[in-house]
Amino acid sequence: MSFEIPIGPQHPALKEPISLRMTVDGEVITGVDIRLGYNHRGVEKLAEQKTWIQNIYLTERICGICSHSHATCYVQAVEKLMELLPPRRGLYIRYLVSELERVHSHLLWLGVAGHEAGFDSFFMYTWRDREIVMDLLEMISGNRVHYAINTIGGVRRDIDEGQKAKILEGVATLRKRSEYYFAIGANEPSFVARIAGVGMLSKEQAVSLCAVGPVARASGVARDVRKEDPYAVYDELDFELCTADSCDVLGRVVVRVKELLESYKMIEQMVRNLPDGDIAVKAPRKAKPGEAVSRYEAPRGENIHYVKSSGADKPERLKVRAPTLGNYPATIEMLKKGFIADIPLIFAAIDPCICCAERAVTLVDAANGAESIVRMSELRRRALARAKNAPVKGNAVWPF
């Protein structure tokens, strides 16, 4: 019996709207179709109306989990454009926050993977420990989600000796716990039975479909911007590129836990070797005409921002390529020939951040599938007309 099941746009496994149409034969998936565009926010257009400084806070709001990644990627591009060189201390603090963010993102992902596999205890434990790193981030920046620590030419807040000690203490605790989770994630039989051999993506496929981040690394592709094209402080740090050869969801779990341990190493190095000096240099109000591309290894993979300046105090164009977008083609391959039960796990294994990746919207007629281009004013007029003609709903009745 072959039929199509819709996963999304609203589904308990998805926290964000995306539509996965699965053609299934019994429990086995035979065809996959991904539809995007449910959460277009017009960020790029908005960026053209805001100044260079204002855009830091806009790009920070592209994502709730890797907020610092987008802000840093944007700031890197603008600094390239303005030919600014931030002081060492500022850079160290900026990338210290980057690594802390990677830790919180990976811990969050571990919990989500546990939840998708029905392993709620794992979820509760990892999220409990994620609070440690969230508290550290709050201590450094004053915020838990949108740290707002970046500014063009450096960072906005310094850290003192007491904070350094607290960071080292928190990281020591987290390292101990992460090693424990590594033991559980790689050994608990029912969990491993769910994730081993699921969502296979061979090395060749990963390369040809341009997979990024932990998904590519779990397929044995040593691809990491921090190693390949070390930006800012990464050439001074001692860390290893984590890969796995199993090409499945288990490999993605292993890669992320290994990266956690590498991040702890980097955080300790950065805190211990924090140079003295200023944390920021003054940035000009306008940028020279030109364009810049910036690459940044976000927790989910390579993040790319392209900025074009016409010499004004606003960018002429900002283009954001979030890592999730790079992983969609690979996801389709991974889902094929899997079980229905594996859909949430495989999809969650790319650590999707759907509204970060939404850059366009297509209007499709539900009846005949025709695509059309419509002005905003026309959309608005249609929505109003529809609301006016909608039938009046009955009120709910109290049953007793």
Partner 1 sequence: MAVLRNLLYLLVYPGILFLFVYSTFCEWYDRKVFARLQNRMGPTHTGKFGLLQPIADFFKLMAKEDIVPEAADKGLFNALPAVGLAVVSTAALLLPVWNFDLGQPGWTSFSGDIIVMLYLLSLPTLILFLAAWSSTSLFSTIGGARVLTMLFGYEVPLFLSVLSPALLADSWRLAEIAAFYQKRPILLLANVLGFLVALVAVQAKLERTPFDIPDAETEIVGGTFTEYSGKKLALFRLTFDIETVVASGLLAAVFLGGFPGGAIVGFLHFVVKTLFVIFLLSCIRAMSSRIRVDQVIALSWKVLAPLALVQLLVSILLKGLLS
Residue numbers at the binding site for partner 1 (CB under 8 A): 3, 5-6, 11-13, 27, 114-122, 124-125, 128, 188, 190-191, 193-194, 339-344, 396, 399-400
Q: Using the minimum distance from each CB to partner 1, give the nearer residue, 85 or 124.
A: 124
Distance between start and end Cα atoms, the chain: 44
Q: How far is the CB of 396 from partner 1 (least distance, A)?
A: 6
Distance of alpha carbon 152 from alpha carbon 165, whole angstroms? 28
Phi, psi of 265 (to 5 degrees): -60, -45
E strand or H helix at 275: none
Biggest distance spanned by C-alpha atoms of the chain = 72
Q: How far is the CB of 124 from partner 1 (least distance, A)?
A: 4
Q: How far is the CB of 367 from partner 1 (least distance, A)?
A: 21
DSSP string across 178-212: HHHHHHHHHH-HHHHHHHTT-S---HHHHHHTT--
Q: Using the minimum distance from each CB to partner 1, give the nearer residue, 377 or 398.
A: 398
Q: How far is the CB of 160 from partner 1 (least distance, A)?
A: 32
- In the block, tokens 């989500």 appear at 112
Q: Using the minimum distance from each CB to partner 1, give the nearer residue, 27 or 135.
A: 27
Q: Which amino acid is at 165?
A: A
Q: Using the minimum distance from each CB to partner 1, give the nearer residue, 8 or 153.
A: 8
Q: How far is the CB of 6 from partner 1 (least distance, A)?
A: 8
Q: Which amino acid is at 30?
A: T
Q: Using the minimum distance from each CB to partner 1, give the nearer residue, 27 or 179.
A: 27
CA separation (Å) from 56 to 8, 49, 105, 379?
A: 32, 13, 20, 30
Distance of alpha carbon 68 from alpha carbon 57, whole angstroms? 10
Q: Where are the beta strands (DSSP E) in the chain?
A: 2-7, 19-25, 28-35, 150-151, 154-155, 290-298, 301-309, 315-321, 363-364, 371-372
Q: Using the minimum distance from each CB to partner 1, give the nearer residue, 29 or 140.
A: 29
User: Which residues lie below 8 Å from residue 65, measured CB to CB, with a gap of 6+?
Assistant: 104, 105, 108, 299, 353
Contact call for residues 50 and 117 (beta carbons, < 8 A): no
Q: Using the minimum distance from each CB to partner 1, give the nearer residue, 15 or 382.
A: 15
Q: Using the minimum distance from each CB to partner 1, give the nearer residue, 193 or 312.
A: 193
Q: Using the minimum distance from each CB to partner 1, give the nearer residue, 127 or 306.
A: 127
Distance of alpha carbon 350 from alpha carbon 131, whole angstroms? 23
Distance of alpha carbon 23 from alpha carbon 32, whole angstroms? 6
E strand or H helix at 264: helix 249-272
Q: How far is the CB of 344 from partner 1 (least distance, A)?
A: 4
Q: How far is the CB of 25 from partner 1 (least distance, A)?
A: 12
Q: How far is the CB of 352 from partner 1 (least distance, A)?
A: 14
Q: Output the six-digit token pair for 333.
A: 């391959």
Q: How far is the CB of 174 from partner 1 (least distance, A)?
A: 16
Q: How far is the CB of 5 from partner 1 (least distance, A)?
A: 6
Closest-CA residue to 141 (of 239, 76, 72, 225): 72
- Using CB atoms within 10 A of its CB, is residue 141 exposed (0-12), middle (13-18) or buried (19+)? buried
Q: Using the minimum distance from each CB to partner 1, give the nearer residue, 74 or 123.
A: 123
